[in-house]
Amino acid sequence: KSFLNHTAYLPCYFPNSPKTDIKDLRVFWQKGDVEVVHEVSYGQEKDDNLSPRYINRTKMDMEKWTLQLLNAGVMDEGQYACIVQHRDKGSAQVIHTSECFLHIIANYSQPEIAWLHTGDLKPKEHLSLSCSSSGGYPEPKQMTWLISDENKTQRLLRPMDVSQDAGTKLYNVTSKLNITLPTNIPTNISCFLHLGEQLGNLVSVPLGV
Q: What is the domain partition of the chain in residue ranges?
A: 2-105, 109-208
Give the separation between CA 76 and CA 134, rounded to whole angstroms.
Answer: 21
Query: What does the pLDDT look like over 11-57, one tens digit per residue?
Result: 998 887 667 778 888 899 999 888 999 999 888 888 888 899 999 99
Name the strand (E) or helix (H) holding 99: strand 91-102
Beta strand pairing call for 2-3 and 104-105: parallel
CATH code at 109-208: 2.60.40.10
Topology of the domain comprising 2-105: Immunoglobulin-like (2.60.40)
Closest by alpha carbon to 189, among 144, 141, 158? 144
2-105 with 109-208: one CATH topology?
A: yes
Q: pLDDT, tens digit, for every residue of 149-182?
A: 888 888 988 889 999 999 989 999 999 998 887 6
- The more confident residue out of 19 and 193 is 193
Arithmetic mean of pLDDT over the chain: 88
The stretch 189-194 carries a mean pLDDT of 94
Strand, helix or coil at 5?
coil
User: 10 Å Cβ neighbour count for 142?
Assistant: 15
Does the pLDDT of residue 183 top 80, yes or no?
Answer: no
